[in-house]
Amino acid sequence: MDRTQKEELAKSFKEKAAKAQVAIFADYKGLKASEADDLRRRLRDCNTEVKVVKNNILRKAVADGELGEDAKQLADGLVGPALIGFAYNDPAAAAKVFHEFSKDFEALQIKDSLMGQKKIGAAQIEALAKLPSKDVLLGMLLSTMNGASRGFVSVLAAVPRSFVTVLSAIEKKKTESGDS
């Protein structure tokens, strides 16, 4: 691989990392080709692109500092080639796939990763994986927002309902006293 190809790969990595909401780094040594293909297929379903990048390409990509100081530290600390998942839509979905896959196949080890320009640890990726999906979180938010208006409407409806209940009780009492 000549110098221009390496520079193009570094530029490509930088563009992908800038576009992605999270870039999950993993050590894949010992993972069979069929298992790696299975991981790629699962990640493709959640709009996550997987690339294997050599460390010197990573260091070249982060050298100018556009991806932040944390990216430089992350690239400097890597040993061996890294498998990187670039999650463009839902970072929690990609983290779930990586986490579940690493539990099934011990050869895949999640490393420190990047969320935006911030370095996050493997434990934070695991915490991200345990979050509910984006749709579930949006549903929970809507439910919370509806709760306040629902309570307000219930309070407003309670006054006429109570009035009607009192009138009904008075009517019942009058009909009972009139029948006696």
With 0-12 / 13-18 / 19 or more C-beta atoms within 10 angstroms meaning exposed / middle / buried, residue 135 is exposed
Question: Does residue 180 register a pLDDT over 60?
Answer: no
Q: Which of 89, 80, 108, 83 is nearest to 21 (CA)?
A: 89
Same domain, 113 and 155: no
Angle between helices 55-62 and 3-19 (to 10 degrees): 70
pTM: 0.73
Count of helices and strands (H, E) across the chain: 7, 6
The per-residue pLDDT of the chain, averaged, comes to 87
Determine contact, residues 132/91, Cβ cutoff 8 Å: no
Distance CA(14)–CA(60), nearest Å, equals: 9
Q: What is the pLDDT of residues 138-169, one digit of tens each?
A: 999 999 999 888 888 888 888 898 999 999 99
- How would you classify residue 46: left for phi > 0, otherwise alpha for psi between -120 and 50, otherwise beta? alpha
Same domain, 111 and 139: no
Position with higher pLDDT, 71 vs 168: 168
Question: Does residue 19 register a pLDDT over 80?
Answer: yes
Same domain, 113 and 143: no
Q: Which of 91, 74, 126 is nearest to 20 (CA)?
A: 91
Same domain, 159 and 122: no
Distance CA(29)–CA(162), nearest Å, equals: 71
Domain of 169 in residue numbering reads as 132-180
Say how many domains are in the chain.
Answer: 2
Same domain, 74 and 9: yes
CATH number for the domain spanning 90: value is 3.30.70.1730
Q: What is the pLDDT of residues 29-70, one digit of tens each?
A: 888 989 989 999 999 888 899 988 888 888 888 887 778 788
